[in-house]
Structure 1
């Protein structure tokens, strides 16, 4: 499977994740727990990433956040391994063009995918310019809910402990 990415706008963040499980207590990349993380390079306008079709994840998710940041210009594309299929188009916005070989986009997910009873649906995600964004506005979280409902995505395993900060000469037991 090949993913060709063309950055037509400037992006501050660009990542690709192979999603095998979800953590619906988290948002953004963390909502996918410990995903497969092929290397994508933010500083390359054109790049092609080869992904193995052996033991594919439930889905792949591409995210790019623009510079300067504007929620409406965030680029997102969910796709899955599909031998013999190809697709070419924009990742939600015209600033990021993607071509897929042996893969197809996953459509039909969005804020409507999140159950009304989801515990964090109305929870504050972060504050930006005196406005609060809600978990339900995070497109990664929206897609994670789609995977849970439509693909029975399992819960992510616990995250490994963070390394301690402070004096590097201090012994810390975890």
Structure 2
């Protein structure tokens, strides 16, 4: 009887450990968003975690972004386009299902603002900039709101008047 109880406890512990081990470090993924296109190791690490565990629109939005970032980290032109197109389609799908999600619109704005024009993915820059001015202050997560604001402020996408509204 004691052996059976022991094995039940071991199995329960293993199950709990596997569930806890599957948490997605979304705060770290958010923080590293600004370097994912520059740092291949960071990009691969986060993409792998997101592909396995992303289960919310925001997590899938970051997964889409990291897919697009991978285009910069491969030399094969076919893989570049595949990473980019798949990521773009994933992000647009998430935005279509949650068009009022501030963080998804932030992700798209950042991607569209910085990618080369020849990729033809620049149609929503003004729309997303305006959306963020009108809605960033409504974000309940103070840390995420501050992270987004600081990134956008440093990116020089907004003039002083827009930044004042964005930072309210």
Mark the structure with the bigger radius of gyration: 2
> Which fold has the larger relative contact order, with Cα–Cα distance below 8 Å and residues 6 or more apart in sequence?
1
Q: Which has the higher strand share?
A: 1
What TM bracket, shorter-length normalisation? under 0.3
Q: TM-score, normalised by structure 2?
A: 0.27
Q: Which has the higher helix share?
A: 2
